[in-house]
Structure 1
Amino acid sequence: MRSIWKGAISFGLVTIPVKLYSATEQKDVAFHQVHREDGGRIRYKRVCTKCGEEVAYADIAKGYELATGEIVVLTDEDFEGLPLSTSRRIDVLQFSPADQIDPIYFAKSYFLEPDAQGAKPYVLLRNALESSGQVAVVKVALRQRESLATLRVRDGVFVLETMLWPDEIRKPEFDFLDEDIEVRAQELKMAESLIATMESDFDPGEYHDAYREALQQVIEAKIEGREVVAAPETEEAGPAVDLMAALRASVEAAKKERGTSTAKPKRPAKAEKAEKADKEEKAEPKRKTRKSA
């Protein structure tokens, strides 16, 4: 990994120099826009809509569009006067219980590594924070944007999680929230039973991106020149008419799946047929020998 930012955690009078790394990466299949006929890459030009001329990158400025459609052009001098911290500090504001912070606020995760002589104060703050069971609420400026963030410990390393501001969280204004929808006690009990049946410890290693894997297989088949056969479409179940019956069936299916997953896996029918045919083929010469005798 390569560090993308250098700064320091400011904790009271203690300063801990750190390097910042992206903690996540998107494992997506990247595509380019190409000409269908010859596969040539498609390029886009920066063209002004008023004069129709191509504009050099150095001549491009930031513009804010008004409700009237007019554009207010902002220069570099306009941005210099803004109160954005350039001190490259992660200022600890307070410490709070982790369950008080709704995960909807989290935006991006980063790892922090101690730099230079910062290893000892880094470990000291890490151990103290871990034993407290709380997270540090901090303020940091990254990529010309100031953000709230939290500091927590994961696998012995500080994780900085940038957060959205409260006015960036939308309110779920849906019509059904104002409706008086009645849920019967039996239905609630059956739903709780389904949850209990499907309860299990979360292991992220059990899940994988099936779409990305299938897409990669299509690309590999194209490379090898093989015929690509589309997988058969599966019919999706429609909305349940009888909620209670659907819940009961779901509970039974979950119990059955949980029971079969621990049992000895059944051999495929094709494998059993192949083995039977192989035995009959081996026994055939013996039968012919007895007849001729």
Structure 2
Amino acid sequence: MRAIWKGAVSFGLVNVPVRLFSATENHDVQFRQVHEKDGGRIRYQRVCSIDGEEVPYSDIAKGYETSDGRMVILTDEDMKSLPSRSSKEISIEKFVPSEQIDPLLFDKSYYLEPEKSSVKPYVLLRDALEKADRMALVTVAIRTRMTLAVLRVREGVIVLQTLLWADEVRQPDFGVLDEDTHATKKELAMASSLVDSLAGDYEPDEFEDDYSEAVEALVESKIEGGEVKAPEAAPEEETEVVDLLAALQRSVDAAKAAKRGGGTKDEAEATPEKKKPAKKATKAKKKAS
């Protein structure tokens, strides 16, 4: 694994230097959109919805759409004026009972690895968390933006889990549940019996992603059967760097042509369309003579 962040956990007067590693990875099956005829990848262009023209990255800005549909353009200077944090500190604000953190608030999970010089204070914090049966509520700046997170212990390692802000959790509004409907005693007894019959412990390895396995098997069978396409490499899109180099090359060629012909640089840079009429006029003059 590769560390994505380095900093320190601030624990009272103790600082624990740590490295941050992503604790999860996505194994979802990824499909590409392709042309059915030849297997070529489908590409999307950045097209302006007003003038229909393709827009280069250099002309793309950030826009904030208001509730009434208007667009506010934010410049780079505007973005620099926004609050940002560059601190490399995970600051423990308080220790809260674990049951007070609704799992719905959990966002992303990271492992904290101590530096070699900070193993002892790391273990001290880990053991203190386990003994108190609490989570450490912390603030941390990852990619310049401050966020809330909690520290907890999993299999002897401190895990940092970022939290959603309170206003990012939607409130359920289901009118059908407003009705005063409850299960009868007999129904509840039968449901409880069913729960007891299916009671057990969570074993992660007991369940498998049969969809991913089926997709991989299907793809493998098609490869073995020769049902695979090798689309021709699409021409690379010209970039601004290529355009700049082309412009410089044209300038060099024009300067050399001007030097050889003894004319001015402007004459050498004249386009073929401008030169052709002059040649035709010369031929017509010779015929007339």
Q: Give the TM-score taking structure 1 as reference length.
A: 0.73
The answer to whether structure 1 residue 107 and structure 2 residue 107 are counterparts is yes
Q: Structure 2: 5+ residue runs without aligned partners?
A: 228-289
Partner amino acid, structure 2, of 1:88: K
Q: Which moved more, 1:108-117 or 1:188-197?
A: 108-117
CA distance in 1, matches of 2:223, 2:109: 36
What pairs with 1:111-130 in structure 2 (closer than 5 Å)?
Answer: 111-115=111-115, 117-130=117-130
Change (3 A) 1:64 1:136: same
Report the CA distance between 1:226 and its aligned residue. 8.2
The answer to whether structure 1 residue 75 and structure 2 residue 75 are counterparts is yes
The answer to whether structure 1 residue 34 and structure 2 residue 44 are counterparts is no
Report the CA distance between 1:221 and its aligned residue. 1.3
Q: Structure 1: 5+ residue runs without aligned partners?
A: 228-293
Report the CA distance between 1:220 and its aligned residue. 1.1
Q: How big is each residue's C-alpha offset from its partner over 1:97-142, in whole Å with a ceiling of 9 and x where there is no partner?
A: 1111110000111111113522221122112212221110111122
Change (3 A) 1:68 1:178: closer
Q: Secondary structure at the match of 1:117?
A: helix
Look up the match of 2:211: 211
Change (3 A) 1:115 1:58: farther
- Aligned positions, number: 227
CA distance in 2, matches of 1:157, 1:33: 40
Partner amino acid, structure 2, of 1:8: A
The answer to whether structure 1 residue 135 and structure 2 residue 135 are counterparts is yes
CA distance in 2, matches of 1:7, 1:97: 25
Q: How big is each residue's C-alpha offset from its partner over 1:177-236, in whole Å with a ceiling of 9 and x where there is no partner?
A: 211214211111111111111111111110111111111111111111189xxxxxxxxx
Partner amino acid, structure 2, of 1:39: G
What pairs with 1:178-217 in structure 2 (closer than 5 Å)?
Answer: 178-217=178-217
Look up the match of 1:58: 58
CA distance in 1, matches of 2:165, 2:182: 36
What pairs with 1:221-240 in structure 2 (closer than 5 Å)?
Answer: 221-225=221-225
Q: Secondary structure at the match of 2:117?
A: coil
CA distance in 1, matches of 2:81, 2:10: 24
Partner amino acid, structure 2, of 1:22: S
Look up the match of 1:154: 154
CA distance in 1, matches of 2:30, 2:198: 36
Look up the match of 2:282: none
Q: How big is each residue's C-alpha offset from its partner over 1:32-57, in whole Å with a ceiling of 9 and x where there is no partner?
A: 22111111112222222334333232
CA distance in 2, matches of 1:117, 1:182: 59
Partner amino acid, structure 2, of 1:59: D
**4+ aligned runs moved over 6 Å, structure 1:** none
CA distance in 1, matches of 2:87, 2:16: 14
**Aligned Cα RMSD in Å?**
1.8
CA distance in 1, matches of 2:56, 2:11: 45
CA distance in 2, matches of 1:155, 1:40: 46
Partner amino acid, structure 2, of 1:147: T
The answer to whether structure 1 residue 91 and structure 2 residue 91 are counterparts is yes
Look up the match of 1:164: 164
Look up the match of 1:287: none
Partner amino acid, structure 2, of 1:45: Q
Q: Give the TM-score taking structure 2 as reference length.
A: 0.74
Q: Which moved more, 1:106-115 or 1:66-75?
A: 66-75
Report the CA distance between 1:30 and its aligned residue. 1.6
CA distance in 2, matches of 1:153, 1:67: 42
Partner amino acid, structure 2, of 1:224: E
Look up the match of 1:20: 20
- Identical positions, percent: 56
CA distance in 2, matches of 1:42, 1:174: 40
CA distance in 2, matches of 1:14, 1:75: 41
Q: Secondary structure at the match of 2:183?
A: coil
The answer to whether structure 1 residue 175 and structure 2 residue 175 are counterparts is yes
Partner amino acid, structure 2, of 1:188: L
Report the CA distance between 1:13 and its aligned residue. 2.0
CA distance in 2, matches of 1:67, 1:201: 48
Look up the match of 1:233: none
Which is higher, the Rg of structure 1 or of structure 2?
A: 2
